[in-house]
């Protein structure tokens, strides 16, 4: 079967399953698909596997703070496998997409064994940095009702970052570390520019907070 022809059939379900959380909504999925396509083409990965995995990587998510949130990728992968089988996708394709989705979450700390799964990790993590990454960070911060920063030490100069308590801490705990963890040269180059955006933002934020002291 023509695997590329599956895409229009899957998009409707993928869009319907997305939540209204702006950090994980349909627009996020579209950006990750675009990232995955660009990286796959540059790195010689299977483009259809990569873009399909990106399209379906938000089919299921436990809410933030849910005790089973660490299993979201695994459960999402099962949803994706079921959907692909319903559309008659070959089992090797189902397995490749399912594996990429299962191991993509940052919180798992898994280094994928396939190039396509590494592409999905890179594509998803690119959307966590740069201007859009900062927007997503603060959207999550607001949803979790956490202050933007800790008043006495906003930039974690005298303490370890704790992003369960303050939004800016997430920049130090995760976002600025993502560039060095990218698997592909293409993603590392894209991440370098996005890191510059974060660094400029943090410099401006430092000045504005200092002015309010």
The Cα angle at residue 198 between residues 197 and 203, in degrees rounded to 5: 100
* pLDDT band per the 50, 70, 90 thresholds, residue 66: low
Whether residue 11 contacts residue 61, with contact meaning beta carbons closer than 8 Å, is answered with no
**Residue 213 in this model has a pLDDT that exceeds 90:** no
* pLDDT band per the 50, 70, 90 thresholds, residue 182: very high
Tell me the mean pLDDT in the region 159-166.
Answer: 96
- Range of lowest pLDDT (5-9, 71-75, 110-114, 137-141): 71-75
Which range scores top for mean pLDDT: 75-79, 109-113, 116-120? 116-120
Mapped onto helix, strand or coil, the DSSP state of residue 198 is helix
**Assigned CATH topology for domain 128-213:** Methane Monooxygenase Hydroxylase; Chain G, domain 1 (1.20.58)
Tell me the mean pLDDT in the region 130-140.
Answer: 96
Tell me the mean pLDDT in the region 83-106.
Answer: 95
CATH of 1-110, one of 1.10.287.130, 1.10.472.50, 3.40.50.720, 3.40.50.970: 1.10.472.50
Which residue matches tokens 């996005």?
A: 194
Which residue spans within 94-188 are E strands per DSSP?
Answer: none
**Structural tokens at position 160:** 């370890």
The mean pLDDT of the chain is 92
pLDDT tens digits, 18-43: 888 899 999 999 999 999 999 999 99
Which residue matches tokens 């859009």?
A: 132
Residue boundaries of the structural domains of the chain:
1-110, 128-213
Q: Between the CA of residue 109 and those of 49, 68, 70, 87, 134, what are the distances in Å?
A: 22, 16, 11, 31, 22
- The DSSP H or E segment spanning 95 is helix 91-102
Percent of the chain having pLDDT more than 90?
A: 81
Tell me the mean pLDDT in the region 92-106.
Answer: 95
184 exposed, middle or buried (CB, 10 Å; 0-12, 13-18, 19+)? buried
């Amino acid at each position: 079967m023509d695997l590329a022809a599956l895409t229009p059939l899957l998009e409707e379900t993928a869009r319907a399953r997305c939540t209204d959380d702006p950090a994980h909504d349909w627009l996020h999925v579209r950006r990750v698909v675009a990232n995955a396509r660009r990286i796959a083409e540059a790195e010689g990965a299977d483009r259809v596997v990569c873009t399909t995995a990106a399209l379906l990587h938000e089919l299921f998510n436990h809410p933030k703070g849910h005790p089973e949130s660490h299993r979201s990728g695994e459960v999402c992968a099962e949803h994706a496998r079921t959907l692909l089988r319903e559309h008659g996708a070959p089992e090797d394709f189902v397995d490749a997409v399912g594996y990429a989705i299962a191991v993509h979450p940052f919180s798992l700390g898994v280094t994928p064994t396939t190039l396509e799964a590494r592409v999905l990790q890179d594509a998803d993590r690119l959307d966590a940095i740069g201007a859009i990454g900062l927007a997503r960070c603060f959207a999550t911060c607001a949803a979790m009702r956490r202050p933007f920063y800790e008043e006495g030490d906003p930039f974690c100069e005298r303490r370890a970052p704790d992003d369960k308590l303050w939004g800016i801490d997430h920049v130090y705990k995760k976002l600025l570390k993502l560039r060095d963890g990218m698997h592909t040269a293409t993603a590392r180059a894209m991440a370098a520019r996005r890191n510059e955006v974060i660094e400029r933002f943090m410099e401006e934020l430092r000045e504005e907070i200092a002015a309010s002291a």
